[in-house]
Amino acid sequence: MIKCVYPGSFDPITCGHLDVIERAAAMFYDVTVAVLVNKNKVPAFTVEQRMDFIRRSTKHLPGVKVDWFSGLLVDYMKSRGANVIIRGLRATADFEYEFQMAAMNARLAKDVETIFLMTDISHSFLRSSMDKELVAHGGKITGLVPPEIEEDVIKYFNR
């Protein structure tokens, strides 16, 4: 039985993230989107907001669960009985980093497998940080973040 975890910061979730979630949900019954809580970084949105954004963006995918974790991913995987890490790949630069992380995780937990899905090419240039910069300067983010959260993301940056 495959139990997948799709880990990330999701600060906020982008259309690229959603694309990966939809692909994973079409293949696997048990998919959890897990928000990483990193004490060393100041996120734009709280964990609760980020989880809420993911829930609203994936409400058409009833099987998808939303959760958060801190610490090592492989420890979180074990605590959930999960065995497959999902990661999206956009471009060469991604790959280098993902390769290092997957090799490290394979070393830490031999029974955990990482599988990579390719982001749809139209999302391949998206980064959460770009979205934030865009909104901060009044740029349109339609098509960059899921429509369900667009208004909230804009509101936040225009506080």
Q: What residues line the site for a second copy (CB under 8 A)?
A: 2, 23, 26-27, 71-72, 74-75, 83-84, 89, 91-93, 95-97, 99-100, 102-104, 106-108, 113-118, 120-122, 124-125, 127, 130, 134, 137-140, 143
Q: How far is the CB of 122 from a second copy (least distance, A)?
A: 7
Of 55 and 83, CB closest to a second copy: 83
81 backbone φψ class: left, alpha, beta (φ>0; ψ -120 to 50): left
Q: How far is the CB of 118 from a second copy (least distance, A)?
A: 5
What is the Cα–Cα distance from 35 to 79, expressed in whole angstroms? 15
Torsion from C-alpha of 137, 159, 17, 37, nearest 10 degrees: 120
Residues serving a catalytic function are 17, 41, 90, 128
Contacts of 88 (CB under 8 A, 6+ apart): 16, 17, 19, 20, 94, 116, 117, 118, 119
- The tokens describing 58, both together, are 């994936």
Shortest distance (Å) from residue 142 CB to a second copy: 10
- In the complex, minimum distance from the CB of residue 140 to a second copy, in angstroms, rounded to a whole number: 7
Instruction: Please give the Cα distance from 11 to 27 (Å, whole number).
Output: 25
Measured from the CB atom, the residue of 62 and 138 that comes closer to a second copy is: 138
For a second copy, which is the closer residue by CB, 130 or 154? Answer: 130
Toward a second copy, which CB reaches closer, 27 or 55?
27
Cβ neighbours of 32 (radius 10 Å): 21
